[in-house]
Amino acid sequence: MRITRRSVLPVAAGGLLAPGLLAAAPVSQPEHSGNAKARLGVTENPFGPSPAARRAIIASVAEAPYYPHNEAALRQKIAAQEGLTQDQVTLSSGSLDALTLLTVAIAAGGRVLAPRPTYSTHLAYAARQGIETDWINLRPDHHIDLDAMLAAIGPQTRMVYLCNPNNPTGLRPDPEQLRTFCIAAARKVPVLVDEAYFELAPDPHRQSMGSLVREGHDVIVTRTFSKVYGLAGLRIAYTLAQPQRIRQLNARITTSRNQAGLAAAQACLGDAAYLSGAIAYLKQCREMIYRICEANGLRYLKSDGTFVYIDCGMPAADLQARLAALSVEVRLFEGDAYRNWMRVGTATPDELAYFGKVLPTALGA
């Protein structure tokens, strides 16, 4: 089957979007800033900020000379959305900052427990501070092995980290099983649940572990405006946790948020019309990747993230090098079981169409 943009994706590239998405689509497709023709190693959402967020960013220029003292409004809005008190919510400059500071604070003198592969930038930082991670391989069906993780919590374990949906697989644990796991694990050590792709899940509040924060468990949930909300460049995110954990995090945060990020986040949080447009865009990009895989006989996992994990059928490092020679960037993750797998980001239709065009060459080379 020949893959064309028209055949697989009703979202047109080059500045136009399908009519259904037009109302929500704020601007033309951005040009990516890197040198590669297809930057598929990243997880941002090129659909970009909502129209209201764009207006708020422009209006925030008037506040640019001043340090921000207006974080309370966004915190209040998040607390109301989550049914939490304000002392159970804090903001950070991207969720990576919160993940890193919490990991280092909580796991000092001990070890972290995490699935592999998973998002691990903060765990790599912690390792540089002498805090090592014990890795638990995914199950053969590529899901997080919650039973093995619970059994692995030992005297040295200070914190459990997991990501829902997991990056790079894009798979979500069953919410009831995850809930049971988190409650049991949190009796022993704090559980940090990274919900960077929260908004993309069907019925996100049912999938989220935010309810466990409401119920008083030592569960910490991080979420970000970087992914579905299209604000990665403005570095704004939030954490939900018990007040003691929020104080622990706040005590380590070194600087305030930025005016534009605060204003944009306040303007777009929970904007249902925008979210449905952004989610439709990302889903269609994922579908486009699925079709490309199918056309090339590659196995893939159906994802709830802004990326798709693909079995290359050959050492992924080799295919990555061949793709790089064709100006396509992809991401690989640690873990022996996944040496043949690469993660492809949803990117833009133009980038995906280019990927679809050159992949047969890379596979056949």
Ligand X SMILES: Cc1ncc(COP(=O)(O)O)c(C=O)c1O
Question: Which 65-124 residues touch ligand X, going by CB under 6 A?
Answer: 94-96, 119
- Nearer to ligand X by Cβ, of 92 and 259: the residue is 92
Residue with tokens 């930025």: 258
- Nearer to ligand X by Cβ, of 194 and 199: the residue is 194
Find the shortest distance in angstroms from Cβ 92 to ligand X.
Answer: 8
Q: Tokens in use for 346? A: 């949803």
Asked if 163 is part of the footprint of ligand X (rule: CB under 6 A), the reply reads: yes
Asked if 43 is part of the footprint of ligand X (rule: CB under 6 A), the reply reads: yes
Find the shortest distance in angstroms from Cβ 309 to ligand X.
Answer: 13
Find the shortest distance in angstroms from Cβ 200 to ligand X.
Answer: 12
Cα 187 from chain centroid (whole Å) = 27
Find the shortest distance in angstroms from Cβ 174 to ligand X.
Answer: 19
* Region of 313 on the Ramachandran plot (φ > 0 left; ψ -120 to 50 alpha; else beta): left
- Nearer to ligand X by Cβ, of 21 and 42: the residue is 42
Q: How far apart are CA 237 and CA 239, in angstroms?
A: 7
- Nearer to ligand X by Cβ, of 21 and 351: the residue is 351
Asked if 169 is part of the footprint of ligand X (rule: CB under 6 A), the reply reads: no
Report DSSP letters for 197-238, one per residue: TGGGSSSHHHH-THHHHHTT-SEEEEEESSSTTS-GGG--EE
Asked if 173 is part of the footprint of ligand X (rule: CB under 6 A), the reply reads: no
Q: How far apart are CA 173 and CA 146, in angstroms?
A: 9
Q: Tokens in use for 62? A: 């008037």
Asked if 46 is part of the footprint of ligand X (rule: CB under 6 A), the reply reads: no
In the set 82, 145, 194, 351, which binds ligand X (CB under 6 A)? 194
- Nearer to ligand X by Cβ, of 238 and 355: the residue is 238
Asked if 48 is part of the footprint of ligand X (rule: CB under 6 A), the reply reads: no
- Nearer to ligand X by Cβ, of 12 and 253: the residue is 253
Other C-beta atoms closer than 10 Å to the C-beta of 178 total 21
Find the shortest distance in angstroms from Cβ 3 to ligand X.
Answer: 27
Find the shortest distance in angstroms from Cβ 155 to ligand X.
Answer: 28
- Nearer to ligand X by Cβ, of 9 and 160: the residue is 160
Find the shortest distance in angstroms from Cβ 144 to ligand X.
Answer: 13
Residue in 165, 184, 167, 185 with CA at minimum distance from that of residue 175: 165
Q: Residue 65 belongs to what H/E stretch? A: none
- Nearer to ligand X by Cβ, of 167 and 296: the residue is 167
Interstrand relation of 307-311 and 299-300 (parallel, antiparallel or unpaired): antiparallel
Partners of 91 in beta bridges: 238
In the set 167, 208, 239, 320, which binds ligand X (CB under 6 A)? 167
Position with the least CB separation from ligand X:
94
3-state helix, strand, coil in the chain (%, to 5): 45, 15, 40
Q: Residue 96 belongs to what H/E stretch? A: helix 95-107
Q: Tokens in use for 118? A: 């998973």
Asked if 196 is part of the footprint of ligand X (rule: CB under 6 A), the reply reads: yes
Find the shortest distance in angstroms from Cβ 205 to ligand X.
Answer: 19
The count of chain residues that interact with ligand X, using the rule CB under 6 A, is 13
Q: Contact at 8 Å (CB) between 23 and 51? A: no
- Nearer to ligand X by Cβ, of 221 and 328: the residue is 221
Half-sphere exposure of 96 (CA within 13 A, CB side): 13
Find the shortest distance in angstroms from Cβ 40 to ligand X.
Answer: 14
Q: How far apart are CA 285 and CA 253, in angstroms?
A: 36
Q: How far apart are CA 91 and CA 94, in angstroms?
A: 8
Find the shortest distance in angstroms from Cβ 163 to ligand X.
Answer: 5
Interstrand relation of 237-240 and 89-92 (parallel, antiparallel or unpaired): antiparallel
Question: Which 217-276 residues touch ligand X, going by CB under 6 A?
Answer: 224, 226, 232, 237
- Contact residues toward ligand X (CB under 6 A) are 43, 94-96, 119, 163, 167, 194, 196, 224, 226, 232, 237
